[in-house]
Amino acid sequence: MKKKIHPKYYKEATITCSCGNVFKVGSTMEKMEIEICSACHPFYTGKKKLVDSAGQVDRFNKKIEMAKKMKAEQEASAKKKSKAKKPAKTTTKKTSAKKSTKKITTKATAK
């Protein structure tokens, strides 16, 4: 190995979990703090644990609630518009050249 190009290696590095579990391992960092370890990870324990760093879960839940409200408002306004619309008038017009009937649809205008 070349000298002065590799980081210092600690044979007894300490890793501390937020649950209080402490590990001794070899690492280039002397001390590390972690949020989840094998003693508290949901995959290994079978318990549900929610890790929320910087309120990301709360922000996500707010977005979901806002989306539901917006969708409900859009559906309500669509129902109001569909009730307010009048049905379109259809008239039949005969053309003399082809002797076929065409339906012409016109929208009713509200006054």
Domains (ranges, CATH) in the chain?
A: 7-47 (4.10.80.400)
Computed over its alpha carbons, how large is the radius of gyration of the chain? Answer: 35
Nearest CA to 24 out of 12, 36, 9, 37 is that of 12
First CA to last CA distance, the chain: 90
What is residue 93's predicted lDDT score, i.e. its pLDDT? Answer: 63
What is residue 29's predicted lDDT score, i.e. its pLDDT? Answer: 92
pLDDT in tens, the chain (111 residues): 788 898 999 999 999 998 889 999 999 999 999 888 888 887 777 777 666 667 788 888 999 999 999 999 999 888 887 776 666 666 666 655 555 555 666 665 554
Which strands make up the sheet holding 10-17, listed edge to edge? 22-27, 10-17, 31-34
What is residue 105's predicted lDDT score, i.e. its pLDDT? Answer: 61
